[in-house]
Amino acid sequence: MAGIAVYPGTFDPFTNGHCDILDRALKIFPTLIIAVAANPEKSPLFTLQERTGLIREVVRGKAGVTVDTFDSLLVDYVQKKGARVLIRGIRAVSDFEFEFQMALMNRRLAGEVETVFLMPHESYSYLSSRLVKEIASLGGNISGLVPPPVEKLLIEKFSRRRTP
């Protein structure tokens, strides 16, 4: 059995696809850190505190899972946490091209850190945080795309924006 793995991302918001990758990673790694990137350049809808709070609520009761934040070079964060593995989800070939480049750069920066690519269940292959936000912003049905606490907060956020 392998040791500690880090599952990094902006997670704005955390979707059922992210949950699926998390569950798959837990079958391989006994300890998993969900590392939420501050990433202000992406102009996230949710604050860092909201994202970490939602994820903590969603993963409550899952053994071996912790939620943390980082605002540094990812490989530096991974090494600081004593991990040697990065978990990345791949939905399509377009994801692979970007993630492959990132994995190679991370390997160059820290050769002892490995990247493990996991594919979500095919029912999540189209799912992205960006699409979920777009659907929610237009009042569409997002149930089944995100965990219930995320759905609730998304609906609240966008209903406030639509209210004059």
Give DSSP secondary structure letters for 76-125: HHHHHTT--EEEEE--SHHHHHHHHHHHHHHHHH-TT-EEEEEPPPGGGT
Alpha-carbon distance of 100 to 121, in angstroms, equals 20
Q: Which residues of 125-164 are buried (b: 16+ CB within 10 A; e: fewer)?
A: eebebeebbeebeeeeebeebbbebbbebbeebbeeeeee
The number of beta carbons lying within 10 Å of the beta carbon of residue 92 is 10
Per-residue pLDDT at 134 = 95
**CA separation (Å) from 49 to 52, 54, 81, 113, 125?**
5, 8, 20, 27, 27
Tens place of pLDDT for every residue, the chain, 164 residues? 468 999 999 999 999 999 999 999 999 999 999 999 997 777 899 999 999 999 999 999 999 999 999 999 999 999 999 999 999 999 888 788 889 999 999 999 999 999 999 999 999 999 999 999 999 999 999 999 999 999 999 999 888 765 55
pLDDT value, residue 60: 96
| Domains by residue range for the chain, with CATH | 4-125 (3.40.50.620)
Catalytic residues, by residue number, are 18, 42, 91, 129
pLDDT, residue 42, reads: 76
* pLDDT recorded at residue 1: 42
Half-sphere exposure of 143 (CA within 13 A, CB side): 1
Give 86's strand partners: 6, 115
What was the pLDDT predicted at 163? 54
> Cα(163)–Cα(6) distance, rounded to whole angstroms?
39
8-state DSSP, 72: S
Cα-Cα-Cα-Cα dihedral sign, residues 125, 130, 133, 134:
negative
